[in-house]
Amino acid sequence: ASSSSSSSSLPAAPRRSPRALQRHSSLLSQYSSLLESYTEGEIRQLISALVERYSQAMNSGGHELPLFPQAGSRRKRARARHKPCALKELEVSVSELGLGYESDETVLFRYCSGTCEAAVRSYDLSLKSMRSRRRIKKEKVRARPCCRPLAYDDDVSFLDAYNRYYTVNELSAKECGCV
């Protein structure tokens, strides 16, 4: 009888509801994308600061640990860097395009800009792992999707400074996506 009373004195393991698990998973994905925006040096600084604060809090008997006292500005910068892939436009002269034409005519140049964090695939994760393990060394490979044109606008025609007529194809993006 005494053995059954000792086993029943242990508290039951707390169970999380499915909603709490989803919230936990959502927080993990938010923190992982935030940490991806840090450089290795920033991460080392962060860890050393956290360890120092933790040891100070434990030595003073405190239980509250302000992990990110200035996290607001850091989060804003991280969010600014992680704008989704989108089509942008700029009015420029033909000469500014860098294609070797001299012309004062202006064109609407549409380009793709932004990050593709949500489009990370198993391929990207595996490639990143192979690079970190030095299995892929000197090749130029990209371990994350890139914001690029999926389609281009119609051809652009213009007169150069010598009244010669030119047509340039695939100059301006029409649609952007993560490739």
pLDDT at 9: 53
Give the pair of three-digit tokens for residue 111: 């380009």
Question: Is the distance from CB of 120 to CB of 32 less than 8 angstroms?
Answer: no
Considering the entire predicted model, what is its pTM? Answer: 0.51
How far apart are alpha carbons 128 and 161 in whole angstroms?
A: 48
How far apart are alpha carbons 90 and 174 in whole angstroms?
A: 13
For the stretch 76-99, pLDDT in tens is 555 556 789 999 999 999 999 999
pLDDT at 36: 65
pLDDT > 90: percent of the chain: 37
Question: Is the distance from CB of 172 to CB of 108 less than 8 angstroms?
Answer: yes
Q: Does residue 105 surpass a pLDDT of 90? A: yes
Q: Does residue 152 surpass a pLDDT of 90? A: yes
Element (H, E) at 52: helix 40-59
For the stretch 23-61, pLDDT in tens is 555 656 666 666 666 676 666 776 766 666 666 655 555
For the stretch 55-76, pLDDT in tens is 665 555 544 444 554 555 555 5
Question: Is the distance from CB of 113 to CB of 89 less than 8 angstroms?
Answer: no
CA nearest to 150, candidates 174, 172, 168, 171? 174
Q: Mean of the pLDDT values across residues 123-138?
A: 86
Residues 6+ apart with CB under 8 A from 144: 116, 120, 124, 128
Q: Does residue 144 surpass a pLDDT of 60? A: yes
DSSP label of 66: -
Region label for 152, one of left (φ > 0), alpha (ψ between -120 and 50) or beta (otherwise) = beta
CA nearest to 16, candidates 27, 6, 8, 31? 27
